[in-house]
A and B are shown apart, each in its own frame.
Chain A
Amino acid sequence: MTLSKYFGLVDVQARMLLKADSAKYKLGILWWFLEPLLWVTVFYIVFNMILDSGRRSGDFIVFLATGKFAFIWFSKTVIQASGSIVSSEGLIGKIDTPKSLFPMSAIQQSLYRQSTVYIVLVFFLMLGGIMPDKAWVWMVPVLVVFYLMIVACGLIGACLVCILRDFQKIIPLFMTFLMFTSGLFWDPHQIASPAKTELLFTVNPLAFILDAHRQVLLYNTAPDLFHLVTIGLGSVVLVCLALLYMRRYSQYLALRVLT
């Protein structure tokens, strides 16, 4: 399969997945906007109305929403991409196609979807009094690196689930673990020892990326570029290794799926 055909197919598959998904629900495509809006509503109810902590609660909702919207992209995509090869069992038994096609289509699908989530986020930030700034240009490298990280994790997850189905149980659990350890509800910079914060960012790239979102969008500061590039390069290496593995062991993966 040539590269242009491969990417053409990934694109069409992703669009079809979106189309099928929105055809399933009455509100269809509106759900792309409704889902993030509902999250914001939930945060508002919990943190502004129930846990009203005075003047700072508004800031906290903005802080939370920024992290949550980014985190949803990661967790949803990786879970979906991980299950994508085994759920295409019917197709895999019939054609010899690159196995990476399935996770890549799932990743592409959520990329298209996530664009609306970021639009909602920008409106929400503006509603909270945070206006777009020149520094927001830093979001471009942050998002590129984040995307590469998602591709790497999605491809590796898909291989793991193929080899051992039990990973389909483990991966969502791991996402919950990540939700608590990536500074979604708390600010990593408020950890008492800066060395610990540094350690967290090193060990958990997702915590660094979520923090980078906030640094750029909320405080108009550039992220730690060296750290960002390191994560980007690491992801590229993992993506290449995963793709090579899927290419080399395509028939083995098919056998694992079919039997």
Chain B
Amino acid sequence: MADTDRKVMLELDDVSISFHTSKGTFDRGLHQVLRSVSFKLYENETLGIIGRNGVGKTTMLRIMAGILAPSSGRVIKHPGKAASLLTIGLGHKGDLSGRDNALLSAMLQGASKKEALGYLEDIKAFSELGDSFEEPVKTYSSGMKSRLGFTTALLTHVDVLLVDEILSVGDAEFRVKAEQAMKQRLSGEQTVVFVSHSDKQVSELCSRVIWIDKGRIAAAGDPDEVLEKYQESIRAAKRKKKA
């Protein structure tokens, strides 16, 4: 299908963003995070975003989710469609039980109290937390916390799903289950933006990939081609370091 035939869910038009950083008393610097980034996100596609740490991937997701506003440029949203970040552990409160935390997270992601209460048993079952679901979250291991967070996030529904490094949760067994659930979600009618450091996940799940480097789009298009260019740049950087 040609790009022009497809419905645009979200568009970034010449988006730049910079932060003021304070280095000391009265001493402030300007940190340019994204520079003139433009792209379109189409309905039902899975767009992968790759790049090294600190190049602005998370900031880009935050702009798409409407959490931050760009310093310049425009974010054009399809009317009536909401974009939301899929996030693990929306500020878990250690003194509350897994159940209470799940209720709160689901409501924060837009569910009404009634809907959220309806999700709880599914969350308990999928996360395999068993009786620990009623225990305070502060007694959980980090793996258990991410199971709870992943499950809560997965079971809530949004039009555009923004995923930030999510499939590295829990033990091997749970990870397989999480990946399967994610794939199922992706194969359905769901528009997804997916940030990952795993080449395997990106080439398996994404239909299109954008590589961000130093706040700009370095390459965009077919996942395998873009991944190849990205890997080549990493190898080049390593060679340069050695030399």
Q: Which of A44-96 contact B (CB under 8 A)?
A: 88, 90-96
Interface-facing stretch out of A6-14, A135-143, A213-221: A6-14
Residues of B within 8 A of A254 (CB): 67-68
Given A16-B96, A20-B95, A95:B67 Cβ within 8 A: yes
B112 contacts A by Cβ under 8 Å: yes
Say whether A20 contacts B69, CB under 8 Å.
no
Chain B contact residues (Cβ within 8 angstroms of A): what range?
Answer: 20 to 34
B:58-110 near A, CB below 8 Å: 62, 65-69, 84-85, 87, 90-91, 93-96, 100, 103-104, 107-110
Looking at the assembled complex, report how far the CB atom of A32 sits from the nearest CB atom of chain B, in whole angstroms: 16
Among residues of A, the one whose C-beta sits closest to the C-beta of B19 is: A259
CA distance A209 to B67 in the complex (A): 39
Contact of B100 among A16, A92, A255 (CB under 8 A): A16
- In the complex, the answer to whether B67 meets A96 with C-beta atoms within 8 Å is yes
Alpha-carbon distance between A251 and B103 when the two chains are bound, in angstroms: 25
Contact partner of A91 among B21, B91, B94, CB < 8 A? Answer: B91
Does B91 lie within 8 Å of A88, measured CB to CB? yes
Give Cα distance in the complex from A145 to B96, angstroms.
33
Q: What are the residues of chain B within 8 A of A93 when measuring CB–CB?
A: 62, 67
Report the bound CA distance from A80 to B27 in whole Å.
Answer: 29
Residues of B within 8 A of A19 (CB): 95-96, 100
B66 and A251 within 8 A (CB): yes
Known contacts being A13-B104, A251-B69, is A90 close to B91, with CB within 8 Å? yes
Q: How far is the CA of A251 from the CA of B59 in the complex (A)?
A: 13
Known: A9-B108, A95-B67, A251-B68. A23 touches B21 (CB 8 A): no
CB pair B95 A12 closer than 8 Å: no
A95 engages B109 (CB within 8 Å): yes
B227 nearest CB across to chain A (Å): 27
Point out the residues of chain B lying under 8 angstroms from A95, CB to CB.
65, 67, 84-85, 87, 90, 108-109
Asked whether A16 lies within 8 Å of B108 as measured between CB atoms, the reply is: no
* Chain A residue with the shortest CB-CB distance to B33: A259
Q: Is A126 an interface residue (CB 8 A)?
A: no
Closest to B92 in A: A90
A16 vs B98: C-alpha distance when bound (angstroms): 12
Closest chain A CB from B93 CB (angstroms): 5
A24 within 8 A of partner (CB): yes
Q: Does A240 contact B (CB under 8 A)?
A: no
Contacts of A96 in B (CB 8 A): 65-67, 84
| Docked complex Cα distance between A12 and B84 (Å) | 21
Residue of B at shortest CB range from A92? B67
A1 at the interface (CB under 8 A from B): yes
- A258 interface contact, C-beta 8 A: yes
Bound complex: CA A252 to CA B19 (Å): 11
In the bound complex, how far is the Cα of B66 from the Cα of A13, in angstroms?
Answer: 22
6 closest Cβ pairs, A-B complex: A251-B69, A20-B95, A94-B87, A96-B66, A23-B95, A91-B91
8 contacts between A and B (CB under 8 A): A1-B110, A12-B103, A13-B104, A20-B94, A20-B96, A21-B95, A251-B67, A255-B19
